[in-house]
Structure 1
Amino acid sequence: MYQRIGVVGLGYVGVTLAAALAAKGYEVHGVDTQPQVRESLRAGRVHVFEPGIEEVFAAHVGRSLLIEEELPSDLDAVVLCVSTPVDETTRRGRLEHLAAAAEAVARRCRPETLVVVRSTVPVGVSRRVVLPPLARAWGQVRLVMAPERTIQGQALRELVDLPQVVGGLDAASLEAGLAFFGGLARELVPVSSLEAAELVKLANNCHTDLIYSFGNELALVAENHQLDPLEVIRAANLNYPRPDLSKPGYVGGGCLSKDPYLMVESAGQRTPLLVNAARQLNEDLPVHVAENVVELIRQTCPRLAGARLAVLGWAYKGWPPTDDMRGTPIATMMPIFRAAGLEVVGHDPMVSGDVIRRYGGEPTSLDKAFGEADAVLVLTDHPDYRSLPVGALLAGTSVKVLFDSWRVLDEGEVRAAGIRYAGIGYRIPKADTTAVTA
């Protein structure tokens, strides 16, 4: 029944879905408005990192996976995966890309085409923004909302293994949506409406943001009492039959840094207290850490201005590995480092040197990062950093302080080298000055 599928928007969500559908045997027509994206994908160069996706493109692009500027007219289903960013001033979702995509589908496709909203949106947007142009053009519409809930680095597997939530405009739409996704996902979860499916996605991501924020809140309380937050969390979780506490750490990415604002928008006149507070705390953490790093350098180095800081990990997370810079903590930290006069060099196993330069750092190797820096800041828990022989790397270096955000390095080896060690939740006494300040 469903064989020819259109995917509108070939960012992370769209390109992984297109690959997964092609791997399942569908004929996929991927559409994107950016010429450079189309050109790259046609050549088999995928612009996002995702394990296995380049192999899928190598096997299918130009054959059952076609990259096009416009949708063909005779499609069985079209999936809208366009971006819905949050306006930096109003903190409300920008829906112009979704509205334009809906207009294009109404213009190019036929009433029998199943239309799937996969973009994350405030509750009510599928009905309010996507439905009207389709209804005007076609009269009868088959429309579903089927949120994407994968994690970067596991998307191709999770598109098959995760339960797929589907909400329909009506019973016929829901039946069609379940039939379509039944060819991809192993388990389907029908819900009663478009709006219920929209809220499922926001609920998942806001809950994740909230869980992580509690770990960060706990770390800040522990810091105030000079306690190790990881010791407290390990003891609290060990063999305790209640939900585990999360380790402290940065919370970014394209979803968790955006979706709480879409939840707030969905709440109308009632501002969600928990969602707002959790997002604010998670956004404040990189500022707090950057200020602590500057203070540590002030205390341990002969001078602050001109001191060299090596930052390891520029993507928003290290595990699963990604090159995604959306919501990366370094974007918030760099203005603080620049104001302090620090010279910042950077390394990331996944992020290119050009991107590091774009964010204000100078690319460097791991050996040089440790060998030529006054201080080292580890921002992600990438596996390459977990396995570092940190004692050997620090031997004979000029490094005075190492801030290990995710506590992935051997603290004992760092301290044995005579280097000051700190992490999220470590108190940095302002009076502990052992060097001349800038």
Structure 2
Amino acid sequence: MLKATAENSEMKVPEGFEDKRICIIGLGYVGLTLAVAMCDVGFQVHGVERNPHVLDCLSAGKAHFLERGLDERVAKHVNSGHFSFGAKIEPDDHRRVYIITVGTPLTSEKQTNLSAIQSVARDVAEVLKPGELIMLRSTVRIGVTRDVVKPLLDSRDIPYALAFCPERTLEGKAIEELTSLPQIVGGVDNGSTIRAKNIFGFLTPTVITVSSLEAAEMVKLVNNTQRDYMFAFANEVAEICDVCSVSAIEVIRAGALNYPRAFNILPGPVGGPCLEKDPYILTEGVVQKGGQEGLALRARHFNEAMPSRSAALIASHRRGSNSATKKIVIFGLAFKGRPETSDLRGSMAYPLIKHLQAHFPDAVIGGFDPSTDPEEAKSFKIEIFDNAESAATDTDVIFFQTNNPRFQELNLTRLSGLMRNGALIYDYWNQFKDVNLNEGRSYAGLGTWLTANPPSSLGNKKRTASAPAYAGSVEIV
């Protein structure tokens, strides 16, 4: 079978390929990047999206979120007619494949909200024709494809194929990873598995088939929960090192150097639209099948509590200051900085703001992020600054919540001069080397804060943060 790879874009889906016409339902981050990648290799894609803002952006030839190179691809495929879109599923005599990529958020009780998937499954059932293939790509607990979606499709009493193919790309690198990472495929039967495998074989050189729908559902959950757990351990190491007046960055990197059995993950905030929920979804499915909660949720709870612990640490430091705390600004509002994204879903800035407001009720809390839409940033309900200088002016605390690459262009010496005397720059990512601040200003980071010393001893010290700018916890989504 012909396959397309990132290096060989000339290999396209042939005209005679039976499943060339695809309908992708849900044009959020997962659905839109998949649609563009499939158009790149020659599929004819129709997207369905109910959010009018998303449709307006597509009509203007651009995406509704930041992803390098995506706008150009969207415009190209919309203009060529290879990518069409609308607000509902339309019956089509020539369409053969439906891919469901709608969101599966958690409820306030940390249970999976399946209403969107159930609604889409009913809509697909209404237009389903014999022999069509339905693939789920949304993240679900184990058993949802067979026990929730399949009965809704079965209501038509016609033959169809069904598979689960989890998304597993990193925001900011989705197009690249869709053409390089292995895709996982598990079908309700062997025919469904092979058919789904053949479709994804045009995107990537490696398609891994598993024995069941449930195995495919589990792969994504296990991958992300493992990462969350490893990040939680790195963050625990950071807090231990803070207590012991040792640099966590030094300990982790030295321990991992040329030693294959050591872990080499540096500490940092862990959030985003996947890691914040996948351990809950995994545990939910396990408990429903009679299993027990385990380490997955303990790690998730530890990562979730980081903003609370950080705010308390800052408050303790500021109590040793001679001046009141009047202004705190968070640099980086998206859920991560590298690869650069504008996505605010699951951002740890939300709970960090809440805890800072609790500790500093009289302070102005602000935010600055060079990659996010200022209108979207209003969801934080804080003052939003459009440049680093205005954000730093008369500020008592700058809090680097992400390691956005644009922050590397900042002159911390100059910014510290705009801050108030006694001000602190706290950096989750330890991303600045050879920091030399103006007198009376200090710099500290997660896992490198020497808590055995009083706050005043931080002072005007030139210090070295050994972590590279790219270090820390990043999310796969």
Cα shift at 1:429 = 6.5
What corresponds to 1:45 in structure 2?
62
d(CA) in 2 for partners of 1:3, 1:231: 52
Q: Deviations over 1:334-367 (max 9, x none)?
A: 1222221221222111112223332022122111
Please tell me whether the aligned partners of residues 333 and 349 of structure 2 are also in contact (alpha carbons under 8 angstroms). yes
Match of 1:228 among 218, 239, 247: 247
For residue 361 of structure 1, what is the amino acid of its counterpart?
Answer: I
What corresponds to 2:433 in structure 1?
410
TM-score, structure 2 as length reference: 0.86
| Count of matched residue positions in the alignment of Structure 1 and Structure 2 | 430
Match of 2:86 among 45, 68, 71: 68
Q: How does 1:38-437 map to 2 (within 5 A)?
A: 38-61=55-78, 63-72=81-90, 73-74=92-93, 75-89=95-109, 91-268=110-287, 269-304=290-325, 307-339=326-358, 340=360, 341-364=362-385, 365-395=387-417, 397-398=419-420, 400-410=423-433, 412-414=435-437, 417-425=439-447, 426-428=449-451
What corresponds to 2:24 in structure 1?
7
What corresponds to 2:460 in structure 1?
none
Cα shift at 1:430 = 10
Q: 1:354 to 1:34 in 2, by over 3 A?
A: closer
Q: Deviations over 1:55-113 (max 9, x none)?
A: 11110115111111222333121100011111122x11111110111111111131221
Between 1:194-203 and 1:269-278, the stretch displaced more is 269-278
Structure with higher RCO (Cα < 8 A, 6+ apart): 2
Please tell me whether the aligned partners of residues 316 and 324 of structure 1 are also in contact (alpha carbons under 8 angstroms). yes
Task: Provide the identity percentage.
Answer: 34
Cα shift at 1:301 = 4.9
Please tell me whether the aligned partners of residues 174 and 190 of structure 1 are also in contact (alpha carbons under 8 angstroms). yes
Please tell me whether the aligned partners of residues 243 and 452 of structure 2 are also in contact (alpha carbons under 8 angstroms). no
Between 1:253-262 and 1:52-61, the stretch displaced more is 52-61
Q: Secondary structure at the match of 1:183?
A: coil
d(CA) in 2 for partners of 1:198, 1:146: 8
Q: Deviations over 1:388-420 (max 9, x none)?
A: 221233236425111011001235313x64322
Q: Secondary structure at the match of 2:162?
A: strand
CA RMSD of aligned residues (A): 1.8
Please tell me whether the aligned partners of residues 283 and 296 of structure 2 are also in contact (alpha carbons under 8 angstroms). yes
d(CA) in 2 for partners of 1:176, 1:271: 36
d(CA) in 1 for partners of 2:378, 2:346: 17
Structure with the higher helix share, 1 or 2: 1
Between 1:108-117 and 1:3-12, the stretch displaced more is 108-117
Q: Deviations over 1:290-318 (max 9, x none)?
A: 221223233225113xx111211010110
Cα shift at 1:143 = 0.4
Q: Which runs of 5+ in 2 are unaligned?
A: 1-17, 458-477
Cα shift at 1:166 = 0.3
Please tell me whether the aligned partners of residues 318 and 383 of structure 1 are also in contact (alpha carbons under 8 angstroms). yes
d(CA) in 1 for partners of 2:320, 2:399: 15
Please tell me whether the aligned partners of residues 111 and 138 of structure 1 are also in contact (alpha carbons under 8 angstroms). no
d(CA) in 2 for partners of 1:131, 1:88: 27
Cα shift at 1:270 = 2.4
